[in-house]
Amino acid sequence: MISDKPFQLTATPDNDGYRLDKLLAQALPELSRVRVQDLIRDGHCEVSRAGRVSIIKESSWRVKRQDHIRLQMPPPRDSHIEAQSLPLDIIYEDEALIVLNKPAGLVVHPAAGNPDHTLVNALLAHCGDALSGIGGERRPGIVHRLDKDTSGVMVAAKTDAAHQGLQDQFAAHGRDGKLQRIYHAFVWGQLRPPTGVVDAPLARAPNNRRKISVSKPENKAARSALTHYKQMGVYRGGRVSRLACTLETGRTHQIRVHLAHIGHPLLGDPLYGSGMKNQIVHLTPPQAGALQDLSRQALHAFALGFEHPISGETLYFENPLPSDMAHLATLLETEK
């Protein structure tokens, strides 16, 4: 309902006694209930009852039959984040969303250590007026993130409706059959068995705020995390393996922490794999050089599938390994 015209409805016997926010959220599925509550609180909803018009600012206000409800959507606020023209590798784009390949080294969202030149800055410049407002602000809707030094496929929403629909799918993490995410990784060692699941809760490491660590379930700060892995190749007599990983949850650094937890950290991971640096002696000189040139964790978001939040169409995108990881893969496969 992103429009200059107000949304209007008249309450019926079927919704007599409903909370105002519940009724509007049901009538406007493109808006989250939180967004509806914000609009009510900010004075954008008026109700006419028995000829008397009142601005209602309480989400819990109870509707009665024959109430005439009018919700005016304000124009989206300009984002406080600066739009910056940066190169984007766009895989797919329509009026609701954009799918792209994030290169290693690009931060997704501005933060204290990276205030600009992020993916969000670039999307603001690229999408411009096509952004109809996420939560009332003209900005792209980020529903998932990749670490700065992880490359691969990402999707971002351009409208509130798309943002809400994608958020629901990512919150379900594929349990509803709509979302599919596949990561390719190179790790130290050979996994036995070659397929499995890492089920270990994660929390912020108590002695290093930059790190995430496996935690005891009774830790109230810990969040459940499940990673499925499948071995796709074994190299150098079992010194290195290539894995495909899928997620049932989407925690910060999840794949990196889980694989390090079971003794198979990612090649090149400076945060969770530093204890395996001496393993580079088991690689050929060209392989070792390719790993040093990689200068990041060997992790790539290879595939992303989801249901289009507006059309309902099933979309699926694959993106091959970037050149740095592809070079390492070729040398591992050809230099026995």
Residues designated as active site: 147
Q: Which two tokens stand for residue 291?
A: 């790993």
Evaluate whether 44 touches 74 at the Cβ level (below 8 Å): yes
Looking at the DSSP bridge assignments, the partners of residue 90 are: 100
Judge residue 54's burial from the number of C-beta atoms within 10 Å of its C-beta, 0-12 exposed, 13-18 middle, 19 or more buried.
Answer: exposed
| Cα distances (Å, whole numbers) of residue 288 to 260, 265, 267 | 20, 16, 11
Rg of the chain in Å (alpha carbons): 24
| Cα distances (Å, whole numbers) of residue 2 to 7, 37, 168, 288 | 9, 16, 20, 54
Q: What is the rounded distance in angstroms from the CA atom of residue 10 to the CA atom of residue 20?
A: 12
From first CA to last CA, the distance across the chain in angstroms is: 60
Judged by phi (left if over 0) then psi (alpha if -120 to 50, else beta), residue 288 lies in alpha
| Residue whose token pair is 């950290």 | 265
| Cα distances (Å, whole numbers) of residue 100 to 14, 122, 317 | 44, 12, 9
Handedness of CA 10, 13, 14, 18 (dihedral sign): positive
Evaluate whether 23 touches 77 at the Cβ level (below 8 Å): no
